[in-house]
Structure 1
């Protein structure tokens, strides 16, 4: 997926908000909490992962623990382009599923009152 396609997908999620931060990265939030970062390091996308997804995916080509975040013990992954244009990492559908899972985990961590406001 291109940066524009990833941003379009993130924009389609309920109550998602967008800000540009950290040197021009597209930062996607729900309830003020980050669920995806696009372009923080080139056209890579960073997303929160479950413990199991983190352990399985971090060893896949085109995916690595997200710089800065994973070094602080957070379970975030970075999906990035491979050198020489080689394909790797997740399919578009799988990437969308992981971004959605990140969104869902962040949403579930919000206070119940905030969740109710965002659902309205």
Structure 2
């Protein structure tokens, strides 16, 4: 899985917006102003949100992911060369989690799922 494919998956999410908030070539994907996926400037991983700290720990313990640096413990870092279906699933799930946690007023302004 390449960084380009990760960006394609992220861009396909309704209302997703790309930014590089820290400069230097980061790929930070947001919905309603909140991050759902980020790849570092020279990163080999994409960081995504999980349902819980327990789910993140499970993914880390089973070798699917690593601890995501600088983010809450419910976030994990998946290698860019992960199985494409696993990576796509985790990105879409992160998107839905973040979108679902947005205020209802913000959600009402977003494109339909």
The two structures, once aligned, show a CA RMSD in angstroms of 1.9
Give the Å deviation of 1:40.
Answer: 4.6
2:65 paired residue among 59, 63, 66: 63
Matches within 5 A, 1:1-120: 1-22=1-22, 23-40=24-41, 42-51=43-52, 52-61=54-63, 63-70=65-72, 74-80=73-79, 90-119=82-111
> Larger relative contact order (C-alpha < 8 A, sep ≥ 6)?
2
Shift of 1:117: 0.6
- Structure 1 ranges of 4+ moved more than 4 A: none
Question: Residue 41 of structure 1: CA displacement?
Answer: 5.1
Deviation by residue 1:68-99 (Cα, 9 ceiling, x = unmatched)? 114xxx31000126xxxxx7xx4210111111
Moved more, 2-11 or 20-29: 20-29
TM-score by length of 1: 0.81
Alpha carbons 1:7, 1:38 under 8 Å: kept? no
Gaps of 5+ in 2: none
Output the TM-score relative to the length of structure 2.
0.86
Contact 1:3 1:39 in 2 (8 A): no
Aligned residues: 110
CA distance in 2, matches of 1:101, 1:62: 15
Q: Structure 1: how far apart are the matches of 2:13 and 2:45?
A: 19
Q: Following the alignment from structure 2 to structure 1, what is the Cα–Cα distance between the partners of residues 35 and 69?
A: 15
